[in-house]
Chain A
């Protein structure tokens, strides 16, 4: 995949952990998913029709998920921004450390394109970092999608691509999980009056 596009996909992932406004975060996720779909399409020529279908599945994801997220946003309007667990720059610095760790610690995966390998692994770790570092339930949900986009980036870069059945199944599962997570977000909001998961820390031994 084009190196610039791969860098853009990573940068958009960093954006999700840094920004505070949920609408901006959704826009970043939409842009990241779109860039991924376009990148997959650019690789489609000379590959099987299965791969083309898989690329179209990714483009569909870029349309379906943000639409779903916007519906959730409209139904869970926060009266004010949820307090951040750490300042934006600290979160960004932590995320950069995670990405750097991915670059240095993960051995070559055999793709022959170190940049794509590193960015894919970094995005999965970045998704985990978003869940850990961000308090709003809605933004934690976005962390899942960033991680999934990292996996998709590597999947489309596999010579011949991953089967469209897997892509389609993964999309179905992701939409299912995001729908359930969206329902949770809505319910948490209704129960607590906010989506702040810091208030959901009562269970421990």
Chain B
């Protein structure tokens, strides 16, 4: 299969863009839905074939080509983006049927939704494939335009506010990251490296030992600070709760489960390539700082009675903090934890956002206040919310529990005991906050005037709960097998 990799590396991101154009060319909204379903399966299948090929190579050296660099991490992220993208595409027709008003004209709103969705998905799939820092930046920036339109899709005042804030803040952040890349190019040019190729991950890794420390450190901090706005790391996370809560549920899932960790992958690669130049302690400190800040900022919000999607958004802030800590520790145990955490959080968070569709359909007011007693009104929705909250909170045997333990053990192995203690406390408090939301929102007494109901629209969420539950169980097993494997050791060593 390895011989197919160069073709797949181009085909995987190109297919969604082509699919978007195809949907745009269809006539009726119904036909757009049908074409969407077919093209989503094809796009996801191609990405999953590439992912499986990469994962099957275990701890082998990355595959490099003119425009791509594919390692084990690429395989993990491609699988995650493909699965969440496919689930979001499959649930989008159900969302669009009940969406009501939209930014676009009634007759074409679905077409534009799908066009923006596929552009977003295609750009996301290209990020783990990109073999170059500058190209990675361009792709991350490209996700902004498409996803901002989707965040504001309903055209309502709150959605416009969220979309505008997201667009402006993340674009400014990425300008800062680009400034960092230019400063890095400046440092490279002083040491004989020039042009686009000098910013290839592999070339950067080779050049790093000879780079001037101060200039490279400035570049490193600027790049990380810029990317942090897009990852949603505190204190530059202001757009995150608004965008996640106002976007259509399938888009919120893609934003939280796929976009945030994918940009974190770029940050991770920046650390792997430049740590030698800026000093391992400095590189680690930046990640641990963002990680702890994100955990500490998120936890108080997890204790509050927030609307369902806003609660999930603050949970994303917490989990991106955990990912930052894992990358910062950088030990094989912590990296094993990061891999499982990214996948486990992605599946659980996507399910949580998908559960918002039947929840808001049956109780539209849940968009502005915390849900209550969902179990008494809809068992499938409650099951999805419960599984999502349990997994996100780190309730054993959730894969997130395994990954958090691995990351904390990895931190101890790295000698960062104080950071581990603070992180463990914050995670315990976060767990209690989500447990409270589970007891009150899902299992507790229903709000006045709400009665049990059975709805045909519950079937998709029930099926999704079974599928994602199976995926989460598999991840728990993988989390027990992964530590010590050649796959993880290669990732932690960071040969790009």
> A residues near B, CB below 8 A?
50, 106-111, 120-121, 124, 127-128, 131, 137, 140-141, 143-144, 147-148, 150-151, 154-155, 158-160, 162-163, 165-166, 169-170, 172-173, 176-177, 179-181, 183-184, 187-188, 191-192, 197, 200-203, 205
> A173-B145, A187-B103, A203-B162 given. 6 additional CB < 8 A pairs?
A107-B214, A108-B214, A110-B187, A162-B182, A183-B149, A187-B152
Asked if A166 contacts B196 (CB within 8 A), the reply is yes
User: What's the A-B contact tally at a CB cutoff of 8 Å?
Assistant: 141
Interface size, chain B (Cβ < 8 Å)? 51
Whether a CB of chain A sits under 8 angstroms from the CB of B194 is yes
Within the complex, which residue of B152, B181, B196, B218 is in contact with A184, where a contact is CB–CB below 8 Å? B152
Residues in A whose Cβ lies below 8 Å from that of B152: 184, 187
Residues in A whose Cβ lies below 8 Å from that of B145: 173, 176-177, 179-180
Residues in B whose Cβ lies below 8 Å from that of A160: 189, 194-195
Whether a CB of chain A sits under 8 angstroms from the CB of B95 is no
Whether a CB of chain A sits under 8 angstroms from the CB of B157 is yes
Asked if B186 contacts A158 (CB within 8 A), the reply is yes
Residues in B whose Cβ lies below 8 Å from that of A192: 157
Q: Shortest Cβ distance from B485 into chain A, in angstroms?
A: 37
Residues in A whose Cβ lies below 8 Å from that of B157: 191-192, 200, 202
Within the complex, which residue of A147, A158, A187 is in contact with B185, where a contact is CB–CB below 8 Å? A158
Chain B residues numbered 287-325 whose CB sits less than 8 Å from any CB in chain A: 301, 304, 306, 310
From known contacts A124-B175, A131-B168, A187-B103, infer whether A109 and B138 are also in contact, taking CB-CB under 8 Å: no
Q: Shortest Cβ distance from B135 into chain A, in angstroms?
A: 7
Q: Mark B161-175, 1 if CB is under 8 A from A, else 0.
A: 111110110011001
Residues in A whose Cβ lies below 8 Å from that of B379: none
Residues in A whose Cβ lies below 8 Å from that of B163: 184
Asked if B138 contacts A170 (CB within 8 A), the reply is yes
> B residues near A, CB below 8 A?
103, 134-135, 138, 141-142, 144-145, 148-149, 152, 155, 157-158, 160-165, 167-168, 171-172, 175-176, 178-179, 181-183, 185-187, 189-190, 194-196, 212, 214-215, 218, 241-242, 245-246, 301, 304, 306, 310
Q: Shortest Cβ distance from B190 into chain A, in angstroms?
A: 6
Nearest residue, chain A, Cβ from B196:
A163
Asked if A110 contacts B215 (CB within 8 A), the reply is yes
- Which of A128, A169, A179, A205 has the largest number of chain B CB atoms within 10 A? A205
Q: Which 10 A-B pairs have the closest CB atoms?
A: A163-B196, A200-B161, A169-B138, A173-B141, A147-B175, A176-B145, A160-B194, A180-B145, A203-B242, A110-B215
Could you show 9 A-B contacts with beta carbons less than 8 Å apart? A127-B172, A143-B168, A154-B179, A158-B186, A169-B135, A170-B178, A177-B167, A180-B145, A202-B158
Asked if A163 contacts B134 (CB within 8 A), the reply is yes
